[in-house]
Structure 1
Amino acid sequence: MKKLLLLAALVSLFYGCENMPTANKGFTVPAYQENTLAQESFFLNDSGTAYLLDILSQNIKSNAVREYESGNYFDIYMGEYLSVPCTDADTPALILAPNIQSYDAFIKNGRFYFRSLYQGVYTFSLIKEGVTGRTITVNNKSKYKISEKDLKNIVYTDYNNKNIDTLKNSVTLFKLVFPDSTDNQEAASLLFNLAVIDGNANIVRTESAFLEENYPLSSQDKMRLIAGKEKTLGNDYNLSDKYLDFNSNSPELNDYVMRNIIKRSNPTNNELLFLENVYAASPTKDLADIIGMLYFRAGNVIKGTHYSNSTNGVLPSPLNNSLITGNENNIQGENSGETTEENLGYSDFLNNYQNGISYYKDGSYAEAILLLEKSASAEGDFREKENIPFYLGDSYMMSGNYEKAKENFLFLKNTNEFFPEAMYKLGELYYKNGEKDLAIKTFEQNRDNFPGTVWGRKSSIYLLKLK
């Protein structure tokens, strides 16, 4: 099931499906028995675009819930939670959604909850012990009527004015309100292009990911995206598998990708396998030496030795991706190019995680929360998961949800590099919540356990204020 959300300014690039958060505390919107909501007219301009995004952000931050007690068709406003009783079900299954979509959908305490930032109709089957029962349809709609043509004109105006901030807002809103529009690819491309010119690394990451995940890209499109990443991100990125299908790529794209991987010199396993495919198609000593060096650097002595073993003008034979991938001679079979289910799971996890961190660094905490929560619930013991409690805690703290912030900070391991900072911020939260004794204890422990860190020293300073 494809689940991608990318907004660029305020609340969302989240991969979503059934998600079971620990709590959904917020205010409840009074129920409307007719189960339909009105849309108000709205004059759209740049300030209006920012205003509409603020409304969505507020709905996310406050965990607004709209409750209904009967029916099977429900209207909610984008960013709100729908809550309806469903005591006869334990699992929701999506059967209809917009082309670009991401959502939270889960059952808790006998009620079905749904939330998404993308406008459109979502239909779910509610399942009990494998048996499909009731069908629920949610019309997730903007509170205001917005003209697609007017918003598209604002996107073009913002791009022509070279204003990255207003363009980010208008493109974000366009994606959310018109997720089925064929113009989303062009809007995202305009934002990507301006971000490259502006040197905005976070937008380059999020918009390239949006384009890669949602649209078929030509060889020229892919080379343009790679060039933009290279200019803006330097070596700080990897290529998704969409670029690494050697057999379906054009020769020009394969050569471009190969040169990009070699230039960055820090390839992933899949990028190394791509280089092996290039070598198998057109072996040269220079490429064999490069592949050997990169495998040595990656710790794969077997492959490193093989590709470096060019003697008397005889080139190493291509391994055809027989995949001796580990340091312990793990032979994974002869099926070159196959991606295991585990690798696919890690790829999805890493995409959510990296985009969540990108939103966090950009100050877009609501969408960071949505993506990082998805990452935290992913199956697999991935190393990056150790950092998620810090990023989630800080994002919740900056969003004003102090209970969730404390919950995540307390989950962080004391061996994590972010632990001293998290404990300092936990002390702040205790103090803001009137728990002065806990605040003092936390600051004292941070001061004593991490005296050589900035956060240990800042804890000492904070204690002077409390005592």
Structure 2
Amino acid sequence: MKKLLIFSGLILLFYSCTPLQNQNVALRHPTQTVPVREEVKKLPQSDFYVSDSGVSYLLDVISADVSKASRRYYNANQLKSTLESYVGETVIIDSVAGNRLEIVSAPKVQSFDFYLRGGTITFKSLYQGEYIAEVYNGTQFVSTVRINNKLKYKFTEKENYDIISKAYIDKDFKKLRDSISLYRISFPGSSKDKELSFMLIEIATLEGQTSVVKEEMSYLNSNYQLNESETITSNLNENKENELVALKEDSITPTEILPNKVEEVRVSPAQFGKNFEDGKRALDQSSYAEALVLFEKAKVRATEDEKTALNFYLGKVYYMSGDYNSAKLSLQNVKDIDQNMAEANYYLGVIAHKEGNISKAKDYLNKSRNNNPSSTWGRKSSIYLMKL
């Protein structure tokens, strides 16, 4: 089952800061006519009761929506109304008479896109909530932009939190991680946020999930005032206390994965490495939507060699998410010299088999097996070939 974790180091992070090409939506009005305000339709939300299986279903829906890279278009005449979008969509507002955008308020989240460039406002966020910004032309105020970003399904905070509590009591790490991920997407900035981190740290420590422990500790240190290890270890079982103390002594420092100050996200060459590594961590923890966003952000300023590595990881994310067509397109661009070529050929072989192309499946799997016979993926390919 495809899993999504938004705060596993998170990072998130998320959102591609690639300048989007302006999609010109021509709004034609008679000469010397004042533009008429256009109403904004409310986007529907279906009622949903969150159960154990419902968490996985909702995360799969969100992951699929993010992978679609859908766009929703508005125009400047609609800015007096609250605009609406679904989580993961990109909102495009054309023909805006301004050159500067200032964020006024937003949910306390890891990151999001909200900027004005070339007369076009672009917005995208993985987190539910209202985002408000003001448009200026130089120093002159032009308009306020309000965007209500929401999920396609509506459920209560209590329902989600009840699932988290049960998973914590049952010491079910995967269910706890996923239900917290859903909670943070749906109810960002909740007063329970710190408590959720402590719960996840405790169970992750019991399960030996060191990377999750480090990431949550980094998140806590970046967003809250803590009493060092005493605050954290008080929430851990006694037989795991020393493990967490040891982790803290390994110089775990706060990162900027979850900045408190919300501002336009800008990608610089130096950010490639951070986004790339954060994306790999998210992928390792089955946070596919998060990983996809981070890899896309890394791709913005990547060199040709770096893009080759990204082709593999993007392909793997799509493969794990069940988007086999996108996976194939990325994996086919992986070069033979790439150290992950055996794994890439394995995935391509499986995809070809699913598409009914047995001959091509055998070609890919044989490449993986013959070129890397002693590797994990070479052995997996040998086993898979026996099924064909």
TM-score by length of 1: 0.57
- Please, which of 185, 192, 208 is the counterpart of residue 199 of structure 1? 208
Using the alignment, how far apart are the partners of 1:116 and 1:418 within structure 2? 31
Gaps of 5+ in 2: 22-37, 256-267
- Please, which of 13, 16, 35 is the counterpart of residue 15 of structure 1? 13
Letter in 2 for 1:401: D
Distance 1:444 1:62, change over 3 A: same
Which residue of structure 2 lines up, in the alignment, with residue 97 of structure 1? 106
SS in 2 for 1:199: coil
Contact residue 77 and residue 142 of structure 1 kept, 8 A: yes
- Please, which of 172, 187, 196 is the counterpart of residue 178 of structure 1? 187
Shift of 1:413: 4.3
Which residue of structure 2 lines up, in the alignment, with residue 58 of structure 1? 64
Gaps of 5+ in 1: 24-31, 244-343
Distance 1:462 1:240, change over 3 A: closer
Alignment of 1:212 onto 2:226: no
Shift of 1:186: 1.2
Distance 1:416 1:100, change over 3 A: same
Alignment of 1:71 onto 2:78: yes
Distance 1:68 1:387, change over 3 A: same
TM-score by length of 2: 0.67
Higher relative contact order (CA 8 A, sep 6+): 2
Which residue of structure 1 lines up, in the alignment, with residue 261 of structure 2? none
Which residue of structure 2 lines up, in the alignment, with residue 416 of structure 1? 338
Using the alignment, how far apart are the partners of 2:15 and 2:163 within structure 1? 32
> Residues 197-276 of structure 1 correspond to what in structure 2 (within 5 A)?
197-220=206-229, 224=233, 231=243, 239-242=251-254
Counting aligned pairs with the same residue, the percent is 31
Which residue of structure 2 lines up, in the alignment, with residue 425 of structure 1? 347
Distance 1:51 1:422, change over 3 A: closer
Alignment of 1:393 onto 2:304: no
Alignment of 1:358 onto 2:367: no
Using the alignment, how far apart are the partners of 2:328 and 2:119 within structure 1? 27
Alignment of 1:370 onto 2:288: no
Using the alignment, how far apart are the partners of 1:84 and 1:105 within structure 2? 11
Using the alignment, how far apart are the partners of 1:106 and 1:433 within structure 2? 41
Distance 1:88 1:393, change over 3 A: farther
- More deviation, 190-199/166-175: 166-175
Using the alignment, how far apart are the partners of 1:93 and 1:378 within structure 2? 25
Contact residue 106 and residue 129 of structure 2 kept, 8 A: yes
SS in 2 for 1:176: helix
Contact residue 356 and residue 371 of structure 1 kept, 8 A: yes
Shift of 1:64: 4.3
Letter in 2 for 1:20: T
Contact residue 75 and residue 139 of structure 1 kept, 8 A: yes
Which residue of structure 2 lines up, in the alignment, with residue 272 of structure 1? none
SS in 1 for 2:217: helix
SS in 1 for 2:107: coil
- Please, which of 102, 114, 121 is the counterpart of residue 123 of structure 2? 114
Distance 1:234 1:361, change over 3 A: farther
Letter in 1 for 2:78: G
Using the alignment, how far apart are the partners of 2:55 and 2:124 within structure 1? 21
- More deviation, 447-456/75-84: 447-456
Contact residue 13 and residue 290 of structure 2 kept, 8 A: no
Contact residue 78 and residue 141 of structure 1 kept, 8 A: yes
Q: Deviations over 1:47-81 (max 9, x none)?
A: 44444334323322444444445622311222334
Contact residue 168 and residue 199 of structure 2 kept, 8 A: yes
Letter in 2 for 1:395: V
Q: Considering only aligned residues, what root-mean-square deviation do their CA atoms show, in Å?
A: 5.0
Using the alignment, how far apart are the partners of 1:233 and 1:453 within structure 2? 36
- More deviation, 140-149/167-176: 140-149
Shift of 1:414: 3.3
- More deviation, 206-215/42-51: 42-51
SS in 1 for 2:130: strand
- More deviation, 75-84/170-179: 75-84
Shift of 1:140: 0.7
- Please, which of 133, 158, 164 is the counterpart of residue 155 of structure 1? 164
Contact residue 8 and residue 203 of structure 1 kept, 8 A: no
Letter in 2 for 1:15: L
Shift of 1:185: 0.9
Q: Deviations over 1:399-440 (max 9, x none)?
A: 233343234334444333212221333344456557788767
Using the alignment, how far apart are the partners of 2:300 and 2:192 within structure 1? 33
